[in-house]
Structure 1
């Protein structure tokens, strides 16, 4: 930990290697009692809980399994039954699951995004999902997606994507989309020019990752990126805690950004139960905090996840989906929520709050802007390569 602290002081990334790659199973750093982690402050789940806690939602965490014995999961929250993997030697599935749904606990300042959501733990690999590093078989991932659908999951978090594609994986993703599920997958490839799968697939919400300064931290780029979320210097639940409230930190892993997005997707589904999966993806994309230009960034998509706007916004009924030839043009109106407004704790949080005020001010222009764009058949603009 001394070495890790030194790297952080220098502004360098600290990455927790998969424990299985080291020939041992994951174990905790300890019980986290520091300041509220920056990613959690950015999403600010406590502000959202009066509107939604993820009630009635099942989030499949597809990767390396989940250690359901960690005491920050509620009894029965991590589901068992056919196809599940309630253990996690590798550790990354448990980290992702904690970001999605860990319960508030007196012993720690860390909490998950959607604590009322159920976690469906599915294992299809023990490795880090890169074909170059020996893991992430797309056929096995396709089978895990089918299991998630059979078990009723409405949000599918690909915690560990595959390093290659296959017709079977493409078909499984199409089935998930047809069933109304939200598939969230990170841009987690570690080699320049490589891609993660099914991150690139149509209908999948592809997630980039940022650090606290808003800078992208992943190598993978592409015009398929939808939104970005925290992926560096994170805190979450750890496997191997033996039934205690146990955590792992600091963790830098671009794949974990997708866990924040999946947690917010569960909040959106609970707050807006009539939305289709595609409409949930549209909402998350339209409400992201974009730069003034509104241009697409190949590493951050349409901007950084804005959880409050995603849950509480009012959108036109005919707002175009992510596959339509119309790009998002403006933040929608944000409906004031009954949750208390917290004081600004950092620049990123302050900008999000300001964005909510601006969005409310332009509420009357949104419907006209979107419909006018549809009539003109806009095409997305992108930053130059």
Structure 2
């Protein structure tokens, strides 16, 4: 994979960029994420890896709607203003363009946050539209199958070309199968996180796997994000990633496979905008065929086809797409020049130094973000 080469070039400065990442203030409301007030000017490591600025002269995702199935999306956040539709609160009715937990806003930021002066962070597809569908108000519990099925069906009916599931995917019963079939019939690509912790159900059903793009996350050192479970189709940045927080103009850092799925959803939006004649199945296969391949048989149970290569996904010429639909089977890797591997020992030393400098800050941020969940668990225990 190309990760060794790319991250070696980033060097110590990029890794240390978030050593001074601000810790969010204490939550203003007992059950809601704290307002994000601190603006981070640095370019996040995930953007340095994916380099979306090389793609933006070709496409920024205009004309593509990405449905975010999560906790809602705060439409008032500065970098999302004008990009978020009212959406639907599947749980309670009404709109979904606000967000208590902040999870959906974080996902939407990765997909479509606009550029701002003196701000390094931006979404992969800043001209895409976001359709929020609220399916969760508690990030400790997966949504019921009927809720998730309704959201997927609604997203497809409202014209979403990409659907990103930011909550645990339950095993497919009749309702979820029908919703995935409708999404497939309406040519919507469903991108979902791989979930592997013991308290979450994992979408291991092969029938489901054929109808979604399952994503796992990796960290700046190339390690897997905790909770990544087989089967995985594709890997993307999923640890120490920066995006938007709710009720403010600032940024927060978090990690998880849902955020890796958001990067793949943003990439899919760019591909669909630049190649409007491709079907959802073709977009999925293009993302897999152009990935940074793992040095073993693919798909690998843990690493899938490899890591997302954004530039290749948008620009590569794939012979299989000429004049015929791409079958839903693994496609040979595209003929794309790869840089030669280099010694990464200096980079690993830099990571160790950065971890010593910034590890405590990241831990404190994680504790601050987890505080509402801890309070809810204690309340239930009583």
TM-score band w.r.t. shorter chain: 0.7 to 0.9
Instruction: Note closer, same or farther for the CA distance 1:59–1:193 as it changes in structure 2 (3 Å cut).
Output: closer
The aligned residue for residue 271 of structure 2 is 268
The aligned residue for residue 343 of structure 1 is none
TM-superposition CA deviations, 1:157-179 (whole Å, max 9, x none): 11113344321011101110121
1:297 is aligned, of 282, 295, 300, to 300
The aligned residue for residue 115 of structure 1 is 126
TM-superposition CA deviations, 1:111-135 (whole Å, max 9, x none): 110000000011011123xxxx433
Q: Does 1:158 align with 2:165?
A: yes
1:55 is aligned, of 17, 41, 62, to 62
Higher relative contact order (CA 8 A, sep 6+): 2
**Aligned equivalents of 2:288 and 2:327: distance in 1?**
8
Which stretches in structure 2 are left out of the alignment for 5+ residues?
1-14, 90-94, 338-342, 348-382
Q: How far off is 1:330 after superposition? A: 2.5
Instruction: Note closer, same or farther for the CA distance 1:35–1:146 as it changes in structure 2 (3 Å cut).
Output: same
> 3-state SS of the aligned residue for 1:142?
helix
**Aligned equivalents of 2:142 and 2:138: distance in 1?**
5
The aligned residue for residue 331 of structure 2 is 328
> 3-state SS of the aligned residue for 1:185?
strand
TM-score, length-scaled by structure 1? 0.74
Instruction: Note closer, same or farther for the CA distance 1:320–1:228 as it changes in structure 2 (3 Å cut).
Output: farther
TM-superposition CA deviations, 1:258-317 (whole Å, max 9, x none): 000000000000000000000000000100101233433222211000000000010113
**Aligned equivalents of 1:121 and 1:193: distance in 2?**
23
Q: How far off is 1:196 after superposition? A: 4.3
Instruction: Note closer, same or farther for the CA distance 1:94–1:229 as it changes in structure 2 (3 Å cut).
Output: same
Does structure 1 retain, via aligned residues, the 8 Å contact 2:194–2:202?
Answer: yes
Does structure 2 retain, via aligned residues, the 8 Å contact 1:198–1:204?
Answer: no
The aligned residue for residue 256 of structure 1 is 259
RMSD: 3.0
**Aligned equivalents of 2:160 and 2:175: distance in 1?**
19
Identify the structure with the greater helix proportion.
Answer: 2
2:86 is aligned, of 58, 65, 80, to 80
User: How many pairs are equivalent?
Assistant: 311
> 3-state SS of the aligned residue for 1:59?
strand
Instruction: Note closer, same or farther for the CA distance 1:160–1:281 as it changes in structure 2 (3 Å cut).
Output: same
TM-superposition CA deviations, 1:355-381 (whole Å, max 9, x none): xxxxxxxxxxxxxxxxxxxxxxxxxxx
The aligned residue for residue 374 of structure 1 is none
**Aligned equivalents of 2:88 and 2:102: distance in 1?**
21
Q: How far off is 1:147 after superposition? A: 1.1
Q: Does 1:218 align with 2:222?
A: no
The aligned residue for residue 215 of structure 2 is 207
Instruction: Note closer, same or farther for the CA distance 1:201–1:34 as it changes in structure 2 (3 Å cut).
Output: same
Does structure 1 retain, via aligned residues, the 8 Å contact 2:184–2:211?
Answer: yes
**Aligned equivalents of 2:238 and 2:55: distance in 1?**
21
Which stretches in structure 1 are left out of the alignment for 5+ residues?
1-7, 335-345, 351-385
Q: What are the within-5 Å matches in structure 2 for residues 363-374 of structure 1?
A: none
TM-score, length-scaled by structure 2? 0.74
The aligned residue for residue 383 of structure 1 is none
> 3-state SS of the aligned residue for 1:100?
helix
**Aligned equivalents of 2:49 and 2:178: distance in 1?**
35
The aligned residue for residue 35 of structure 1 is 42
Instruction: Note closer, same or farther for the CA distance 1:291–1:317 as it changes in structure 2 (3 Å cut).
Output: closer
